[in-house]
Structures are given as C-alpha cells and as structure tokens.
A and B are shown apart, each in its own frame.
Chain A
Amino acid sequence: MKNFFKIFILIIKKDILVETREKLNLVYLLILSPTLSLIAFVFIGSDNPTALFFFTSLIVALLANQRVSRQEVSLGGDLILISAPCDLSIVCFSKILFFILINIFINFIVFITLSLISEDIFLNSINFLTLCFLFSVGISSILSTFSLMLERIKGEGHFMFMLIYPLILPFLLLSYNSIPLIDLYGGESFFSSFSLQALIAFDILLLTICPILFSYSIRR
C-alpha cells in the first residue's frame, strides 16, 4: 500500500513537471477555454449559464485530453510507464487523477470567463462545485483510460478515440438532469436527487473498473 502511494505520487509529480516544463498544453488551455466560452455564449446565449459552463468545459476537456496523451506518447513517457515494474492499474489511476486536476483547471478558466460576461451565474456554490467534481471524475475516467490505450495506435487511433464519445453520453444525461437542481434545491435535497446519486454511483464504478480494465487490456 505504501508503494502504491509512492508510485502514484511519483507519476502525478512527473506529469505536473512535464506539463509545467513544456507549457504548450497549459497555454493551449488558457487560449482555448475562454475562446470556446465566448463562442458558446454568443451562439447559445445566456439563458442558462450553468448549462453553458458544462458544455464549454466538456468540449475543452475532450480536446485537452487527447493533447495531453499525445504529448506523453511523443515524449516516450507512456512506454516508460507501461514497462515500469508496477501494476498498470496504478498508472491508469494516477493518469485519471492528473486529468481531474486538468479538468479543475479548465473549469476554473471557463468559470472566470463566464462570470465576466454573465451576471446571474451559479447561485448555490456548494451544489455547483459538487456537480463539477462529479462530472470531472466520470469524464476523466473514461477519457484518460481510452486515450492512454488509443494514442499509441497509429493511423486509426484518432478515429477510434472519437468512437468512444458515446460512452460519455449517460454521464451527460445525468449531469444535464442535475443542472436545474443546483439552484432549485439547497443542501440535502440536492444530494437526494436520483440523477446526482446515479452520477456518484457511476463515478465510483468507473473509478474502480477503468484502472482494472486498463491493466487487463494492456498486458506486457
């Protein structure tokens, strides 16, 4: 267990170091997130800023995830991790956590952009932050697992990555159903809603099975 956390923290540290050293992905996110927020605001409108927030975050997350994994492959980091003398599920789990951190960064930028251009945004902050986190966990689990597997396939890997987009549809549906509840209910009522409970259940399920499936699918 001690080793597990040691390796886990090492991989996260390595990823953060690579991102801060390369800086390309961070700059990319800093430009893409506000730009897409503004585009979505202009075209979709400001009737439902919360839905707008999740929509923009989702698009940026889909693009960012592929970029982060591609950078890892181009630097050869994935081969080092896969051939490392540790269980592959730890690698996948740490990658999921790293992408959750990236997702929080994306959410932060999108939130600031939308706060500047929209007045009535996110009345209940605790409910909103909870939904943001749960949404990030589900999306990160699926995208990280598949991008880790598919980025190494030459040629059809990118098309195959697009084919996994339907896998996030159940999460989108549950999150979409939870959005109106953010402002409607406060505290316990929000947490007792079916959509949120289902979202929590699937997040836990995915966070558990994705690393296991990853270690089974990539055998040395």
Chain B
Amino acid sequence: MFFFLRKYSFIFFVIFMTLSLYMTFLYAPKEKIMGDVQRIFYFHMGYVLVFTLAFTMNLIYSIKFLRNNKEIDSKLAYIHAEIGTLFTFLTLVSGMFWAKPVWGTWWTSDPQLTTTLILFILYFSYLVFHKLAVRSGVPRYSSVFAIIAFIDLPIVYISVRVMRGISPVVFGGEGGGISSEMMDTLLVTFAAFFFFYLYLLDLRIKLDKI
C-alpha cells in the first residue's frame, strides 16, 4: 500500500494540490478579523503535518537502526530528518508572514514559536551530527541524538495549549476552532502535503540509490 502511494504520489499530489489551491482561494470563506492573510494558515498547517510525519519516521528508523544495525535505516532516518528540517523552516517562515500583519511583528517570544525554532535548530544540528558520526564510523550515535531530539516535538504541540502564549489553538480549543468550509479546505491541503511528502521522499531515496 505504502509503495503504491509512493509510486503514484506525484499524480495524487497534483490532483490534491490543484483542489487545495481552488479551495484555499475560492471555497474557504474570508476570515472576519484577519482577512485574506489567514489563507496562509492552510499551507502553514500542511508544513506542520509534513515535519511531524518526517520527524516521527526519523525516530522510528533511528530506533530500528539501533536495534538492527542496518545501514539503510540510518540513511532513511537522515532523509526523513532532511525533509522535516526543510518543512520546519518553511513553517517558521510562513508563520512569520502571517504574524506580521496579524500581530504587527515578524517574531515574538511566544512558547510555540520558540519551541518550533528549537526544533529546527535541533534537527539542523542532527543533520551535521549525522554526517560527522558517519565519517567517524559511529553512525549509531546520531540515532541516540535523534531519539532525544524527538522529545521537543510533543512540547511544540503542548506549548500552545498549556503555556501562556498568543498562538491560536486550531483543534479542540475553547471558543476558537474553524468553520466547516475551512476545515474541509484544511483536510484537502493536508492530503496534498502528505502526497508531496511522499513524492519528496521518493525523489530523495532515488537520489541516494537506496
């Protein structure tokens, strides 16, 4: 099933992305307070989905590598971390473009923003660490790094709900939430980005000839 999805990921990606673009700009209603700038949110959430998936897979492959010591697991863990880091960066950038007109500033010391930045720095360090560990003949050390680094991911999700900040709670927040049209658009965008993630993964695996 997974290999089928990966093989045809580009076709699914094009279909869902076209639909997503239509829904983002034409179907989803304009947000009353924020206006059109709120539409960045759909893509922003798509990036979040991708980095969550990528870092979770990085954790799984790191654990597998520690247990089985197969080189392919180490390589796959690295590939997932690469994709995750790229999308964490995109999340930060798209968040900043949203924050400027809404909060009046590019950056603020909000707990969710800070923890996401930490996550980016963590996995960026992991990428360098992995390269050096492989060169030094100790790739297992980078798996230990990846497992400990993953601890920050739940903090990113918990921080928006528990720590006092200004980031909005999208799912299950008290009094917040989004309309059904917005939710439909968001789900289609999620699907588009999921296939984009699979497509990128497929390309990257082919590049490394795994």
Contacts and interface: CB of A to CB of B under 8 A. Distances in A.
Given A198-B155, A213-B66, A216-B67, A173 B115 contact: yes
A160 B129 contact: yes
Contacts of B133: 160
Contacts of B118: 166, 169-170, 173
Contacts of A209: 147-148
Interface secondary structure of A, over-half rule: helix
Contacts of A108: none
A150 B142 CA distance: 11
Nearest to A172: B118
Q: For this complex, into which size category does the number of interface residues on chain A fall?
A: 20 to 34
Contacts of A210: 148
B163 A164 contact: no
Contacts of A198: 155, 158
Contacts of A142: 148
Contacts of B143: 213, 217
Interchain residue pairs A-B with the least CB separation, the first 6? A217-B140, A194-B162, A213-B144, A169-B118, A163-B129, A216-B66
20 contacts: A149-B138, A153-B136, A155-B136, A156-B132, A159-B132, A160-B132, A160-B141, A163-B128, A163-B132, A164-B125, A169-B122, A177-B163, A194-B162, A194-B163, A195-B163, A206-B148, A213-B144, A217-B140, A217-B144, A219-B140
Given A163-B129, A205-B151, 20 more contacts: A142-B148, A149-B144, A150-B141, A155-B136, A156-B132, A156-B135, A157-B136, A159-B132, A164-B145, A170-B118, A170-B151, A173-B111, A173-B155, A174-B155, A194-B162, A194-B163, A198-B155, A202-B151, A216-B140, A217-B66
Interface of A: 142, 145-146, 149-150, 153, 155-157, 159-160, 163-167, 169-170, 173-174, 177, 194-195, 198, 202, 205-206, 209-210, 213-214, 216-217, 219
